Chain A
Amino acid sequence: MGLIKHTPMRLQQVSDQDLVKLYIGGDEAVIEELLRRHKSKIFTSIYLLVKDQYLAEDIFQDAFIKVINTLRSGRYNEEGKFLPWVMRIAHNLVIDYFRKEKRTPTITSSDGTDVLNLIQIHEESAEERMLREQTHTDLRKMIHHLPDEQKEVLIMRHYADLSFKEIAELTDVSINTALGRMRYALSNLRKMMNIKEVSVSRN
């Protein structure tokens, strides 16, 4: 790849791989574009696994520090894709956390509502806000009730946007196993929704 003189507009058209090369080559500003592209996918995946905003922030930060250190040290495997690679790092940090901790703290109010949701400011009625928050809480609870291996696949497929091949490699199972886990996850979500009489169309 030749030298790329980028503007903010052009940077958006540069592939992840080329952004990584630019960073390794000394263009420190491009890490901002990589973060912009993937922060939401990676952070949501971590958050849904650990169930704690502050812990998710720490793991997200640690993951990117590892990413930066690896890029600087020249140990990055250029054959791998950037997002699955960062997800693998984040996933390993989550596993490390669960190995160290027996339980996962969740900051919730007495009715189980995520306290952090209450901080959000939206132009909506109190009733609309309550319904939205309840729907989110219901869904998060259902996802958390899935068996770990199903929860992992659902989060990696939907939130991290990984392919089943990438999920299979990350979790060290066959592609068919990853697919089967996704099907079980969806099936179990449906069962839980039926039991709880939760409508996915509720707004």
Chain B
Amino acid sequence: MTKTFTQTSLKNLSKPTLEQADSPDQKLYEALKPKLDELYREPSAETIAKILKYAKKR
């Protein structure tokens, strides 16, 4: 039987994602996402103010 060669999609090669597969890992990731999102936190207003002050000093 002749094996055919399928050229790898450059799009997939450049940006592979777990989302491409309906795998148990992907399902777990989808389940975890909302909880992982709850861990987001922000830098303090003081830190932001310091950065902005520095950015405006030339």
Contact = CB atoms under 8 A, between A and B. Distances in A.
Interface residues of A, number: 43
Contacts of A163: 15, 17
A65 B54 contact: yes
Contacts of A44: 39-41
Given A68-B55, A189-B28, A190-B28, A35 B38 contact: no
A81 interface: no
Given A40-B42, A47-B41, A182 B18 contact: yes
A136 B38 contact: yes
Interface of B: 13-18, 25, 28-29, 31-36, 38-44, 47-48, 50-52, 54-56, 58
Contacts of A158: 33, 36
B42 A183 contact: no
A43 B31 CA distance: 23
Interface string A56-86: 1100110011001000100000000000000
A189 B34 CA distance: 15
Contacts of B41: 40, 43-44, 47, 53
From DSSP, what is the main secondary structure of chain B's interface residues? Answer: helix
Contacts of A32: 52
A61 B32 contact: no
A32 B31 CA distance: 33
A39 interface: yes
Interface in A2-16: none
A43 B54 contact: no
- Name A's interface SS: helix
Given A44-B40, A186-B29, A186-B32, A61 B50 contact: yes
B1 to A, nearest CB: 28
Contacts of B28: 186-187, 189-190
A159 B55 CA distance: 25
Given A165-B14, A186-B25, A186-B28, A43 B42 contact: yes
Given A68-B55, A135-B38, A189 B32 contact: yes
Contact of B43 (A43, A132, A201): A43
A200 B40 contact: no
Contacts of B31: 200-201
A200 B32 contact: yes
